[in-house]
Structure 1
Amino acid sequence: MMKNELEYLLQTDLIDTVENKWGNETWTIVDKRFHEENTYGCFSCAFIPWDEIHVSLGKYSFDFYTEQSKPDYWVSKKDGEEYIEYEYFMDFDSVKPLIIHRDFFDIKPARIEVLEEFRLFHNLYYDDKSNKYIKIIEGGEEIDAIIINDGEIKVKTKLIIEFISIKNTCFVMCCDNGRYSHESISNYSSDQCDFEVKADNLIYARYIRDDVYSSHGYIAFSRFLAKKVIYPVSVKKAISFFIKKEKNYQDFIIGESTTGEVIKHK
């Protein structure tokens, strides 16, 4: 077996991404979806309160489904009385996805939106020509904040950390990735076929099995499931990420003083 084929099914590249790259690089991929002949995958994310993190890290399933993320309400009856309960995000009132996939039943084009609270907090400007959001720092400097490409959305990591630190909440990233191979699972040890890691800020598991349903001749299949939490930092550290620059404006003559001196507005 070729080494790259072995690592491909072991998904060592994704393990490295979860352990070392998620939350530690300049950009964080927060949403990604793809489906090819020999692989499929989905990355997703959400803001989750502190008191629910232990529940989130206790399971591999996603805490949210971005297609269902919209305000809605429940109707129930008790003792003959009808009650209406409104929820900001249906089923996930305390969990708020950063990226929302909106669908209009094929009548109108589907679209991707960014959580309004996050956009307004950072005062992000959407540039439809480049399909990205821009943050304008006091002083006039423009920085790329969110970049949307086909099948992938990435956010400046510092923006996420600043937001969750001020809000005192957590940010959870999820991954579900499957890969197919022509190599037999007999080439893998039992420890490689069933591999699981749990820590204070992440969980992930990999399973390798015979693929008996493939229509493309593949005989092995691996699935990788992962979650990782980015925790808030001190507010002082968070707000230092984007140091506000001194405003520089052109001087304007607005009049004269009683002694005849020119008065300028700065």
Structure 2
Amino acid sequence: MSMEQECKRLSQETMLESLTRNLQLTDMLPVYYSNTTGPHSHGIYCALVPSDRVDEVLSTLTWDLSHGGGVPGSAVYHDDGDERIEYLRFGDDDGIEPLVIDRVFHGMREDYKEISEEFRLFHRLYHDRKTDRYLKFDDDGSETVVAVVEDDRVLIRVKEIRQFLAIRDMHLSIQFDCREHSNHTLKELELDEGGQERRDGLAAWGLFYGDLHGIGEHCAFSRLLGKRLVEPLPKSKSGLWGFEEKADKKYVEFIIGLDEYGDEETYTSNPGALANFFGANPEAPNYLTPVHFRKQVLDKYFQQPSKYTVEDSMLWCGSLWSMQIDNHHEDKVCAWLGDLGRDLPFQEQLHWRSFNIHPQGGVSETYFRRQILAQFANSERPEHLFVNRYAQLQRDCSEHLGWQILLPLDAGDAYFIKSVRIPASDEQRDFDELVLGLTKLLIDSLNEKELNKLIPEADGPNLKGSISRLEAALQASNEEGYESQIAFLRKLQNLRSSSSAHRKGTNYRKIANDFGVDDQSLSAVFAGILGQALGFVEFLTTTVREGCLRRC
């Protein structure tokens, strides 16, 4: 490295630019940083300072909060000979608080950094312990990474910092102490010892040069010392109820029909602008105007079962929002115009609008009877029936057997039952995943331990696999009509093994032909498979209720 490059490195221009740059609300800001590798030692630590102390804080380069500070302590005061002891939540009475706390355990346990509990609770952050990331959930269910904790740094998003500062009437002081070392002396570098201090707006710093005079392996050094303050947002932008300005909800227009020329007719989904049965907005479409969508509109929700749940006539996003839907059609989904505006966040309305199609036909009979006639109506959709019967089988097993013939799903597999559906498209991937899911639910979940108790001891050692054990148990119980059910399970197992679990080849073609894959769409094929799966679950339910499964 040339002398010119070495001087530039010691000038720390790049570091200073980074520390004093204009911050965007979406920036991830280092509020803690420690790097002592190579010829430098960089340290950043933060402090929350009262807004009325900004000028005082910037009048000196000395840090206002050091590592290890900001923890509970006490102070002793003497007034006219009287001693008074006070508990101090942050160890001092100067109003300065930590945002990142050093947790030190003196070698008894591993040290770590912890983000202020108040900050975490203020934003209702979820701590993903596997990744050490903190997530914030918006009203529509979307996730934002707000903070990241790593071994040598802590990053927090600027927006959430400034919102917190707004409510606390505080500024964030980013304190920095950055040193660069050189194997050359100041004389060789043609640099003068000493330095100068500077203040620019909400930043104050000093750059100093010095010689180590033989102490350590390096000769000269530079030190960039100072602090940069981050100001709060207005309280109206804090996001806290009562302080924030309530933005008017936005509404999407949806296709509700075609005019006489074949042009699309659209109308707002704002419930307050729609007609109802009580005389409101008589010139507008009714709240209960059906809006039609391609069936793929639900794929987004099926693909994220940890966040969304699609049930018979209902769509849920955790406990944040829900909407009644007509999902009783082969090729579409319907919803009421007013429900789309009332129940869906704006971003979700945009998602649904992208799948909006011209209306053709009406809502399903099931949905009409439930919604308009207020009558009880069972769904006739095989996916709804399967989920319902699967749950009923578990209840019947508890009542009549005292054990489950199909083991309850582990937490990591619970999404399989939530994902049961007839696919909206003929994508091979969707078909394979659904076949895999059915296999998990019907075959991998068979309770081999309890089934073994129903099988004669002489037969047990010769049996391989859960299907063979179920077959032997049913045979030993003299159950009738089980042969076709066992044949279905074997075909399903073979289909899974030749498609989802392995590369496809001639074996897959042979097995797929058993289900008519070449003669029908994959959606139709899976509908047939699901129908057989429903028949198997109903067969087990009848068997359990009739007490046919007897101990040997």
TM interval, shorter chain, is 0.7 to 0.9
When normalised by structure 2's length, the TM-score is 0.43
Deviation at 1:86, TM superposition (A): 1.2
Does the alignment pair 1:143 with 2:144? yes
Gap runs ≥5 in structure 2: 251-319, 326-366, 377-552
Task: With a CA cutoff of 8 Å and minimum separation of 6, indicate the structure with the bigger relative contact order.
Answer: 1
Does the alignment pair 1:176 with 2:177? yes
Q: AA paired with 2:88?
A: E
Change (3 A) 1:24 1:92: farther
Listed one character per residue, the Cα deviations across residues 161-191 of structure 1 (whole Å, up to 9, x for unaligned) are 111123222111110011111233233454x
Deviation at 1:58, TM superposition (A): 0.9
Change (3 A) 1:140 1:146: same
* Cα distance in structure 2, aligned partners of 1:189 and 1:11: 14
Does the alignment pair 1:249 with 2:338? no
Does the aligned pair in 1 maintain the 2:46–2:98 contact within 8 Å? yes
Matched-pair identity in %: 24
| 2:18 alignment partner, SS class | helix
Listed one character per residue, the Cα deviations across residues 13-41 of structure 1 (whole Å, up to 9, x for unaligned) are 11111221566761110001122352112
* Cα distance in structure 1, aligned partners of 2:57 and 2:98: 14
Deviation at 1:80, TM superposition (A): 6.1
Deviation at 1:200, TM superposition (A): 2.7
Does the aligned pair in 2 maintain the 1:23–1:230 contact within 8 Å? no
Report what 2:109 is aligned to.
108
Change (3 A) 1:172 1:19: same
Report what 2:374 is aligned to.
261
* Cα distance in structure 1, aligned partners of 2:248 and 2:143: 12
CA RMSD of aligned residues (A): 3.0
* Cα distance in structure 2, aligned partners of 1:170 and 1:147: 21
Does the aligned pair in 2 maintain the 1:138–1:245 contact within 8 Å? no
Change (3 A) 1:29 1:22: farther
Change (3 A) 1:171 1:23: farther
What aligned pairs does 1:148-167 form with structure 2 within 5 A after superposition?
Answer: 148-167=149-168
Q: AA paired with 1:104?
A: F
Listed one character per residue, the Cα deviations across residues 60-81 of structure 1 (whole Å, up to 9, x for unaligned) are 1110123132112224455664
Change (3 A) 1:155 1:92: farther
Does the aligned pair in 2 maintain the 1:137–1:244 contact within 8 Å? no
What aligned pairs does 1:1-266 form with structure 2 within 5 A after superposition?
Answer: 1-21=2-22, 26-76=27-77, 78=79, 81-186=82-187, 187-190=189-192, 194-216=195-217, 218-239=218-239, 248-251=321-324, 260-261=373-374
Q: AA paired with 1:234?
A: P
| 2:131 alignment partner, SS class | coil
Listed one character per residue, the Cα deviations across residues 102-139 of structure 1 (whole Å, up to 9, x for unaligned) are 11222222221111111110001111100111111112
Change (3 A) 1:189 1:137: same
Deviation at 1:57, TM superposition (A): 0.4
Q: AA paired with 1:111?
A: Y
Deviation at 1:199, TM superposition (A): 2.2
Does the aligned pair in 2 maintain the 1:66–1:97 contact within 8 Å? no
Which of 243-252 and 9-18 deviates more?
A: 243-252
Does the aligned pair in 2 maintain the 1:35–1:41 contact within 8 Å? yes
| 1:51 alignment partner, SS class | helix
Higher gyration radius (CA): 2
Q: How many residues align?
A: 257
Change (3 A) 1:184 1:150: same
Change (3 A) 1:145 1:244: farther
Gap runs ≥5 in structure 1: none
Change (3 A) 1:211 1:138: same
Change (3 A) 1:155 1:224: same
When normalised by structure 1's length, the TM-score is 0.85
Report what 2:463 is aligned to.
none
Does the aligned pair in 2 maintain the 1:183–1:220 contact within 8 Å? yes
Change (3 A) 1:245 1:29: farther
* Cα distance in structure 1, aligned partners of 2:24 and 2:190: 31
Q: AA paired with 2:43?
A: C
Structure (1 or 2) with the greater strand fraction: 1
* Cα distance in structure 2, aligned partners of 1:176 and 1:84: 34
Does the aligned pair in 2 maintain the 1:204–1:225 contact within 8 Å? yes
* Cα distance in structure 1, aligned partners of 2:138 and 2:87: 36
Does the aligned pair in 1 maintain the 2:63–2:226 contact within 8 Å? no
* Cα distance in structure 1, aligned partners of 2:134 and 2:156: 9
Deviation at 1:195, TM superposition (A): 3.5
Change (3 A) 1:134 1:24: closer
| 2:120 alignment partner, SS class | helix
Does the aligned pair in 2 maintain the 1:70–1:88 contact within 8 Å? yes
Does the aligned pair in 2 maintain the 1:175–1:226 contact within 8 Å? yes
Change (3 A) 1:82 1:2: closer
Change (3 A) 1:39 1:25: farther
Does the aligned pair in 2 maintain the 1:100–1:112 contact within 8 Å? yes
Change (3 A) 1:208 1:169: same
Change (3 A) 1:209 1:25: farther
